Amino acid sequence: TQLLEQSPQFLSIQEGENLTVYCNSSSVFSSLQWYRQEPGEGPVLLVTVVTGGEVKKLKRLTFQFGDARKDSSLHITAAQPGDTGLYLCAGARGSTLGRLYFGRGTQLTVWP
Amino acid sequence: GAGVSQSPSNKVTEKGKDVELRCDPISGHTALYWYRQSLGQGLEFLIYFQGNSAPDKSGLPSDRFSAERTGGSVSTLTIQRTQQEDSAVYLCASSLGTGRQTSNQPQHFGDGTRLSIL
C-alpha cells in the first residue's frame, strides 16, 4: 500500500495545454518534495514545501501544499515538450528521520 | 564530479550470484539513502545512513540485502544469492543535515545501477 497516492499515472497532452498532478494521503507530512526524473537518470528536486497552505512558483510550475499537510498538487501552465518526464512526489514524516515516501509517479508526455 | 556517483551503471548477473553496488555521495553530506525503483513503481526506500550508522534499515526486503558505509562517505549495497525479483534500478541519494531536519533536506540522487538478474 502506497502512503502517497499520485494521479494521474499517465498524462499525454499537446503543447500549450495546462495540467495538474495530484498527490494525496491520509497521513500528515512534515514536508513534501517534488522531483522530476528523465530516462536513465536519477530524480532531480524541483521544490520543497513545508508549511500547510504554502504555494511556490517555479516559472510555469505552481506547487501547493494542502492546509492539513496531507496532500499536494503540481500545476503546469502552457506545457512545453521540454516538460516531458516522470514527476514524483515524496513526503517526509517527522517520526521517521531521513526517509522519503514516494508516490508511484506521473509520466507526462507533451507533444509539439 | 560534484554529484552522487554510482557504479556500476549496469549489472547483469545470473540468479544465485552475489552483487555489490557502490555509492559515492556528495562530499560533506552526512546522510545517505538507498532506494529501489522497479518498472512502473515509485521509489521504494531501502536504508538510511547518518554517518556510518544506519538508524533506519526497515526497507531492506530480506536478509539477503545488506549495506554498509565507511568513513562517513562511500556506501556499498550487497545482495546475496540474487533472485529475479531483485531486478530493478537501485538509486542512491545523499543530503545534508542531522537530527530532525534531515527529512526536510533535499536529497540529491545518482543515476542509479540498473540490475538485471537472468
pLDDT tens profile A32-59: 999 999 999 999 999 999 999 999 999 9
- Predicted pLDDT of residue B46: 96
- Do B102 and A98 lie within an 8 Å CB cutoff? yes
Size of interface A-B (CB pairs under 8 A): 79
- Predicted pLDDT of residue B99: 56
In chain A, residues with a C-beta closer than 8 Å to the C-beta of B42 are 2, 4, 6, 88, 102-105
- Do B106 and A33 lie within an 8 Å CB cutoff? yes
- Predicted pLDDT of residue B104: 67
List all residues of chain B from 31 to 90 with a beta carbon under 8 Å from chain A.
31, 33, 35, 40-45, 48, 50, 55-56, 59
Q: pLDDT tens digits for chain B (118 residues)?
A: 589 999 999 999 999 999 999 999 999 999 999 999 998 778 999 999 999 999 889 999 999 999 999 988 999 999 999 999 999 999 999 998 655 555 567 889 999 999 999 9
Q: Who among A50, A99, A104 is closest to B33 (CB)?
A: A99
- Predicted pLDDT of residue A21: 98
- Predicted pLDDT of residue B116: 97
Longest dimension (CA), chain B: 41
- Predicted pLDDT of residue B100: 54
A97 — pLDDT class (breaks 50, 70, 90): low
Comparing alpha-carbon positions, the chain A residue that sits nearest to B34 is A99
A1 — pLDDT class (breaks 50, 70, 90): low
- Predicted pLDDT of residue B103: 59
Q: List, as one string, the DSSP characters of chain B.
A: --S-EEE-SEEEE-TT--EEEEEE--TT--EEEEEEE-TT--EEEEEEEETTEEEE-TT--STTEEEEE-TTS-EEEEE-S--GGG-EEEEEEEE---GGGGGGSPPEE---EEEEE-
Comparing alpha-carbon positions, the chain A residue that sits nearest to B46 is A99
Minimal Cα–Cα distance from A110 to chain B, Å? 19
In chain B, residues with a C-beta closer than 8 Å to the C-beta of A94 are 100, 103
